[in-house]
């Protein structure tokens, strides 16, 4: 891990490039085709690809969270200090918004926009909870069993989740906020943010809870049983 300044800059930079990719590829795809499945494909492949890159190159600096739901889980697991976690979240939101603005600059659109795309309803909320559950569980299981594969696991998971969740898997409150600043293919109406963010945080907490049991190390489990036996004596 680098010092705090470098870590925060890495979170800003990573989230900015991630959102620039999500929003920019959405604009590109939407401009080039009328087929929405093809547009989603043109949105999916760049997002999955850039995640592999960003997590590989910035992970050694900041851990490459780029996502307040992920930072929250690490804070609750006491793997990052609470005050650092708050700075991470601020960095992620700032970075995400910068990413939206950068995408607009590249495509010569008004720099500041507000999305009008409606994304609400029980199906969308279930989808976001599932999306964030899968993302956080993938990260925690990856850390437990094969940490050098995490960039690929996250990139591939999001590639799948763009298609199997009804919401196209935002799965990230900072990215959701940033997408509210873009009235393009990838946008979301600000009014619909709270539902998405709550669902994402609940999904992340559910994954953390399940991982706490399912991924427990056998040794730890054995020790737990032994200490219970001792306590019972």
Distances in Å between the Cα of 146 and the Cα atoms of 72, 131, 140, 149, 152 are 22, 21, 10, 6, 11
Give the x-and-dash track for 169-208 against its own copies (CB under 8 A).
----------------------------------------
Contact region with its own copies (CB under 8 A), list: 64-72, 76-84, 88-96, 130-138: 130-138
Neighbour count for residue 205 (Cβ, 10 Å): 18
d(CA 1, CA 62) in angstroms, rounded, equals 6
Distances in Å between the Cα of 154 and the Cα atoms of 82, 100, 133, 143, 209 are 24, 21, 12, 11, 19
Handedness of CA 185, 12, 112, 190 (dihedral sign): positive
Considering the complex, what minimum distance in angstroms separates the CB of residue 40 from its own copies?
Answer: 6
Q: Assess 67 for contact with its own copies (CB under 8 A).
A: no
Q: Assess 112 for contact with its own copies (CB under 8 A).
A: no
Q: Assess 94 for contact with its own copies (CB under 8 A).
A: no
d(CA 127, CA 101) in angstroms, rounded, equals 27
Nearer to its own copies among residue 82 and residue 118 (C-beta): 118
Nearer to its own copies among residue 24 and residue 95 (C-beta): 24
**Near its own copies by CB under 8 A: residue from 11, 15, 61, 180:** 61
55 sits in which H/E element: helix 36-62
DSSP 109: -
Contact region with its own copies (CB under 8 A), list: 46-54, 81-89, 173-181, 198-206: 46-54
**Near its own copies by CB under 8 A: residue from 9, 87, 202, 206:** 9
CB 14 within 8 A of CB 54: yes
**Near its own copies by CB under 8 A: residue from 78, 108, 110, 231:** 108
**Near its own copies by CB under 8 A: residue from 33, 147, 223, 227:** 33
**Near its own copies by CB under 8 A: residue from 78, 82, 83, 218:** 218
Which residue in 159, 168, 5 sits closest to 151, CA to CA? 159
CB 131 within 8 A of CB 169: yes
**Near its own copies by CB under 8 A: residue from 15, 21, 92, 115:** 21
**Near its own copies by CB under 8 A: residue from 11, 15, 50, 95:** 50
Q: What token pair was written down for 32?
A: 């080039």
**Near its own copies by CB under 8 A: residue from 81, 111, 112, 121:** 121
DSSP 149: G
**Near its own copies by CB under 8 A: residue from 66, 74, 157, 181:** 157
Q: Assess 72 for contact with its own copies (CB under 8 A).
A: no
């Amino acid at each position: 891990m680098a010092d705090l300044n470098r870590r925060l800059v890495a979170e800003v930079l990573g989230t900015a490039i991630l959102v620039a990719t999500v929003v920019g590829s959405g604009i590109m795809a939407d401009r080039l085709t009328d087929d929405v499945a093809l547009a989603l494909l043109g949105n999916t492949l760049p997002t999955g690809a850039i995640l592999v890159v960003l997590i590989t190159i910035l992970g050694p600096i900041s851990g490459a969270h780029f996502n307040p739901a992920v930072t929250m889980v690490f804070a609750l697991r006491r793997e990052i200090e609470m005050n650092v976690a708050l700075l991470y979240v601020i960095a992620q939101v700032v970075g995400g918004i910068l990413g939206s603005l950068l995408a607009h600059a590249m495509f010569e659109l008004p720099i500041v926009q507000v999305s009008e795309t409606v994304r609400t309803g029980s199906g969308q909320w279930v989808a976001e909870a599932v999306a964030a559950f899968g993302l956080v569980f993938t990260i925690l299981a990856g850390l437990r069993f094969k940490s050098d594969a995490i960039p690929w696991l996250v990139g591939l998971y999001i590639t799948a989740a763009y298609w199997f969740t009804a919401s196209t898997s935002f799965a990230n409150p900072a990215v959701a906020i940033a997408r509210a600043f873009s009235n393009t293919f990838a946008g979301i109406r600000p009014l619909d943010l709270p539902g998405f963010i709550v669902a994402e945080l609940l999904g992340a907490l559910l994954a953390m809870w399940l991982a706490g049991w399912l991924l427990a190390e056998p040794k730890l489990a054995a020790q737990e049983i032994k200490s219970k036996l001792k306590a019972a004596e």
